Amino acid sequence: MTDALHGANAPRTAARGAAVFSFYRAVWRWHFYAGLLILPFLITLSITGAIYLFREEVDQIVHSDFMLVTPTEEQRLAPAQIIEAALAAQPGRAVKYTTPATDTRSTEVTVQPETGGRMAVYVDQYTGKVLEVRPDRSTFAWTVRYLHSFRYFGPTPRMIIEIVGGWSILMVVTGVYLWWPRGQTGGVVSVRGTPARRVFWRDLHAVSGILVGGVLVFLAVTGMPWSSVWGARVNQWANGTNFGYPSGVRVDVPMSGQRLDDVAKTAWSLEQARIPESPAPEAGVQAIGVDAAVARLDELGLHRGYTVALPSSETGVYSGSVYPDDLTFQRVIHLDQYSGEPLVDMTYADYGPLGRWLEFGINTHMGQTFGLTNQIVLALVCAGIILLSVSAAVMWWKRRPAGSLGVPPLPSDRRAFIGLFVILGIGGIVFPLTGLSLLVMLALDLAWQRLRTNRSEKTA
């Protein structure tokens, strides 16, 4: 009786096993495509990201000659005097004044010359000596940041961030499925063999992937705000009302068309926040001046190291902003240039729930939230992603047939793609550029299959 039952169920069991194997092949094929598409970018992002984690430390070494100063017992020069010294070295219009975060850091003044781009002038606030004049945002840290975000290459290449981020998530999801233990004794948390054998690289890839996969997804999601399509849309959705400020922030004052991101480094949530305007002054009323504005911002408790965007017209404002490692000290204050009173005063606590979550993610992504521990953990993860990518390349090289790309074979049952494409489709809807690239890859895969079929028929 038992044998008869087993005999009756055998075809059903075999069919189920064939379906599982077909689905496995379909997942493997698209996991391969995901790696083929993004692994070079993951290596680049990991290297530049690991360096940027220690930007402050590296900058103070590389640029110690003009970023570091020796404090003296003498009183510091007033902001107006520092700006005057900067303009003597670099003629133009002062547009931004950055206070030193510590007593040993120099003061930075951003100047807009009559022609050309902005210049950064570093001044010793104790002596008034100009230490350096260079293009704005040209330090080592800014260079690495722009390389990491592909900003050097214009808006179109920056779309790669969204594509890579979305495919990274899909690659991790499919990778976990491929890694999932199915009775094997190795390759789950251990590495078998030696580097001469392919199984060593397969296990190394699987184990390193499972160790860094979760953090890779976190980095992909928290890196998305910098993408030019998804990031811009989510930013607008999160802060689309109240002139780009989170709901609840008082903005019942005249607003200019200028954005905060146009004048100073800002939090992602406030890139589209519009700068208010100072009310037209009564006859004979003078602007308070930069010295009084800085003193007022100090009085209001703005965290050290803040930047002051200087007014450029009669209706301009003094915009003080700071984004330190501690999120609770993030703050933006726009001062009326005539009365010195705050027109908008916003802190991290004023962000909406989505804004706070995204800013926490971004802050952690940049290695700031948990101090040195945050930096070390993410640096190790970056090293793990590089190892993951290199092991994948070596494994593929050892596996591929001579003269072939070595694409994993198609499943015998094409219906296996249905479930996979549902998963990929959901990711494509959430991340539009990833979805578009998915369609392109699908079209190329179908074209490649048809080409191979035609070749086989001609050969036969």
Beta-carbon count within 10 A of 266 CB: 21
User: What's the CA gap between 345 and 327, in Å, rounded?
Assistant: 16
The pLDDT value recorded for residue 460 is 61
Cα-Cα end-to-end distance for the chain = 49
3-state secondary structure (DSSP) of residue 120: strand
Measured at the CA of 414, the angle between CA 410 and CA 416, to 5 degrees, comes to 95
Q: Calculate mean pLDDT across residues 408-425.
A: 75
Whether pTM > 0.85 for this model: the answer is yes
SS3 for 332? Answer: strand
Q: Give the model's pLDDT for residue 14.
A: 61
Please name the amino acid found at residue 68. Answer: L
The confidence score (pLDDT) of residue 5 equals: 44
Among 39-43, 69-73, 87-91, 238-242, the range scoring the smallest mean pLDDT is 238-242
* Integer Cα distance of 423 and 430 in angstroms: 11
Residues 264 and 309: beta-carbon distance below 8 Å:
yes
H or E, element range at 347: strand 342-347
What was the pLDDT predicted at 248?
64
Give the confidence band of 452 by pLDDT, cuts at 50, 70, 90.
Answer: confident
**DSSP bridge pairs for 332:** 321, 346
Q: Quick check: helix, strand or coil at residue 369?
A: coil
Q: Which of 26-30, 107-111, 367-371 has the lowest mean pLDDT?
A: 26-30
Question: 272 or 98: which carries more pLDDT confidence?
Answer: 98
Give the list of residues 6+ apart from residue 165 with CB closer than 8 angstroms, or none. 220, 221, 223, 224, 227, 431, 434
Distance CA 365, CA 376 (A): 12
Query: Can you list the domains of the chain with their CATH numbers?
Result: 23-53+150-226+372-459 (no CATH), 64-138 (3.10.450.40), 248-351 (no CATH)
Residue 369 backbone phi and psi in degrees, to 5: -65, -45
38's enclosing H/E stretch is helix 2-52
> Are residues 244 and 344 in contact, defined by beta-carbon separation less than 8 angstroms?
no
Structure tokens at 402: 């001579």
SS3 content of the chain, % helix, strand, coil (to 5): 55, 10, 30
Q: Does the pLDDT at position 457 exceed 90?
A: no
pLDDT at 9: 58
SS3 65: helix
Q: What are the two backbone dihedrals, phi and then psi, of residue 325, each rounded to the nearest 5 degrees? A: -60, -40
Q: Give the pLDDT score at 239.
A: 67
pLDDT band of residue 159 (cuts 50, 70, 90) is: confident
Distance (Å, whole) CA 226 – CA 160 = 11
Q: Which of 122-136, 177-191, 210-224, 364-378 shows the lowest mean pLDDT across its residues?
A: 177-191
96 with 309: CB under 8 angstroms?
yes
26-56 residues labelled b (16+ CB within 10 A) or e (exposed): bbbbbbbbbbbbbbebbbbbbbbbbbbbbbe
pLDDT band at 10 (very low <50, low <70, confident <90, very high): low
* Chain length of the chain: 460
Which DSSP letter does residue 303 get?
P
Token reading at 117: 């781009």
Whether pLDDT at 167 is above 60: yes
pLDDT reported for residue 125? 97
Residue with tokens 């019942």, as numbered in its chain: 252
Per-residue confidence band for 113, with pLDDT thresholds at 50, 70 and 90: very high
Here the tokens at position 415 are: 């219906």
Residue 257 dihedral angles phi and psi, to the nearest 5°: -90, 0
- What is the rounded distance in angstroms from the CA atom of residue 323 to the CA atom of residue 329? 7
Q: Measuring CA to CA, how many Å separate 315 from each of 23, 157, 367?
A: 64, 37, 38
Over residues 137-161, mean pLDDT: 87
d(CA 327, CA 137): 23
Q: Which of 3-17, 159-173, 228-242 has the lowest mean pLDDT?
A: 3-17
Residue 136 pLDDT > 70:
yes
CB atoms within 10 A of CB 109: 27
Q: The tokens of 45 are what? A: 């992002």
pLDDT of 6 higher than 70: no
Say if residue 324's pLDDT is above 70. yes
pLDDT surpassing 80 at residue 169 = yes
- Looking at residue 387, its pLDDT comes to 96
Between 36-50, 80-94, 121-135, 145-159, the lowest mean confidence (pLDDT) is in: 145-159
User: Mean pLDDT across the stretch 206-214?
Assistant: 94
Measured at the alpha carbon of residue 312, what is the angle toward residues 279 and 280, in degrees to the nearest 5?
15
- 1 pLDDT higher than 50: no
Mean pLDDT of 208-229: 90
**Is pLDDT above 90 for 265?**
no
3-state secondary structure of 315: coil
pLDDT value, residue 2: 47
Percent of the chain with pLDDT strictly greater than 90: 55
Helix (H/G/I), strand (E/B), else coil: 127: coil
pLDDT at 41: 93
The pLDDT of residue 454 is above 80: no
SS3 (DSSP) at 345:
strand
Edge-to-edge order in the sheet of strand 331-336: 130-135, 119-123, 107-112, 93-98, 307-309, 317-322, 331-336, 342-347
Q: Which residue has the higher pLDDT, 264 or 237?
A: 264
